[in-house]
Structure 1
Amino acid sequence: MTEPKTTQLQPMPDDWRRALAVVAHPDDLEYGCSAAVAAWTDAGREVAYVLASRGEAGIDTLEPAECGPLREREQRASAAVVGVSVVEFLDHRDGIIEYGTALRRDIAAAIRRHRPELVITLNHRDTWGGVAWNTPDHVAVGRATLDAAGDAGNRWIFPELTEQGLDPWNGVRWVAVAGSSTPTHAVDATGGLERAVRSLLEHRTYIEALTSEDPESYVRDFLTGNAAATGERFGGKPAVAFEVFAR
């Protein structure tokens, strides 16, 4: 009996100039795809971040009023490591972000503001594959982002955005989902992996609350292990995987 062939991942489309990453919490992009972001900004592409919440419910030992501003600072520092200077927060409540028209409207507005060709988000499915359960916030934001990519181009959906000066943008060509258990494409992480490690380490307060391991060892093992595993389907190079939905 022959072994089934491993499906190889395709290179990500590269004929674009602007990307917008939309996720639920500080650290979502750093766990998911910041090595790819570093490679893109190195190549002169523009990447902006939009976060639905400030992650204020993410650390049990810190009250939300203290935690939110701290995690915002960590996120801005983290983004700067990989060449991202624009970081926006939508101020939905961490832990109870709801999928619906309010979230779709906020994300569609961000897409109209930034006018990206590529939109990036995090796994929108119930699990990470198998029985590893996803969080409601990730599911809500991921799904709303996929929907808002279309909403942003339709002047008759959320017409109030046009009245606010945000003209429709129908230029989103792809939505790329990080953390998917069914990826289709990948980005070479070789040049960006060290900065990805430093970027995730900027979330030190959160990491120290999450694990008793040495933060640098924890971060390096997590990111390099994932990149190596993805690389087995991408020519042996460390890589970041995405499930790409073309529009």
Structure 2
Amino acid sequence: MPDDWRRALAVVAHPDDLEYGCSAAVAAWTDGGREVVYVLATRGEAGIDTIDPATCGPLREREQRASAAVVGVSEVEFLDHRDGVVEYGPALRRDIAAAIRRHRPELVITLNHRDTWGGVAWNTPDHVAVGRATLDAAGDAGNRWIFPELAEQGLEPWDGVRWVAVAGSSSPTHAVDATPGMERAVRSLLEHRAYIEVLTDQDPEEYCRTFLTANAQAAAPRFGGRPAVAFEVFSR
């Protein structure tokens, strides 16, 4: 995985997406003195059937902020697109490009933007829309003639994104050793307790640990036998 960078921006659709996808890597990066900022398209307000969106959104926002803090991320932004019906298009690209211009990252991180998870399970429309828009917005952010209104708002073009790394890809090209950050990754995912408790009857901590360690072990054969957080990295 490239390591000659200081600032990363992670852009995903929902609270918990990063915790399921790559928080062990984030923990290792922040331990090394790098800055990581989270941007979420929604507040996950449609994610829990038994809690109405007006109550669920603030709850999941609180859980996300607590979850991010566990792995050393202090800045979490929400773009306030509607959970479940995020649309790929200029509005989403503009919001993400604006975030890239604000934070000026060298590395941008997102989640699987393809239709399926490895051809086995169908992906959600929100993941597809946000992942695809993030890949496009990495270029939009550097072009002053795309979304010129951003410059008028004081957000000058930023063409410094060098890589976009996609977590959860079925075609990974790079990886980060998961071992140093795994315990914090488990605790970080566990902060989404309200969501997890309606998702499974399993003990929440056991569920988090089993899920994350299994994913890291599954990546190990491709990356020197070590448990890993895998990414598909696109250079720019």
> Where on the TM-score scale, by shorter chain, does this alignment land: which range?
over 0.9
Question: How far off its partner does 1:117 sit?
Answer: 0.2
Match of 1:89 in 2: 78
Letter of the 2:128 counterpart: V
Question: How far off its partner does 1:233 sit?
Answer: 1.4
Match of 1:122 in 2: 111
Letter of the 2:13 counterpart: A
Give the TM-score normalised by the residue count of structure 2.
0.99
| Distance in 2 (alpha carbons) for counterparts of 1:37 and 1:231 | 18
Q: C-alpha deviations, 1:9-54, integer Å up to 9, x for none?
A: xxx0000000000000000000000000000000000000000000
Question: How far off its partner does 1:212 sit?
Answer: 0.8
SS of aligned partner of 2:128: helix
Q: In the alignment, which of 125, 131, 137 is matched to residue 148 of structure 1?
A: 137
Q: In the alignment, which of 155, 159, 181 is matched to residue 170 of structure 2?
A: 181
Q: C-alpha deviations, 1:185-226, integer Å up to 9, x for none?
A: 000011100000000000000000111111111110000011
Runs of 4+ in 1 over 6 A off after TM superposition: none
Listed as ranges, the gaps of 5+ residues in structure 1 are 1-11
Share of identical aligned residues, percent? 87
Listed as ranges, the gaps of 5+ residues in structure 2 are none
Equivalenced residue count is 236
Letter of the 1:170 counterpart: D
Question: How far off its partner does 1:160 sit?
Answer: 0.1
Give the TM-score normalised by the residue count of structure 1.
0.95
Q: In the alignment, which of 144, 149, 152 is matched to residue 160 of structure 1?
A: 149
Q: C-alpha deviations, 1:145-194, integer Å up to 9, x for none?
A: 00000000000000000000000000000000000011100000111000
SS of aligned partner of 1:225: helix
Match of 1:14 in 2: 3
Matched, 1:206 2:205: no
Match of 1:133 in 2: 122
Of structures 1 and 2, the larger Rg is shown by 1
Question: How far off its partner does 1:230 sit?
Answer: 0.7
Q: In the alignment, which of 58, 68, 74 is matched to residue 69 of structure 1?
A: 58
Question: How far off its partner does 1:131 sit?
Answer: 3.2
Letter of the 2:130 counterpart: V
| Distance in 1 (alpha carbons) for counterparts of 2:165 and 2:103 | 16
Kindly report the root-mean-square deviation, in angstroms, between the aligned alpha carbons of the 2 structures.
0.5
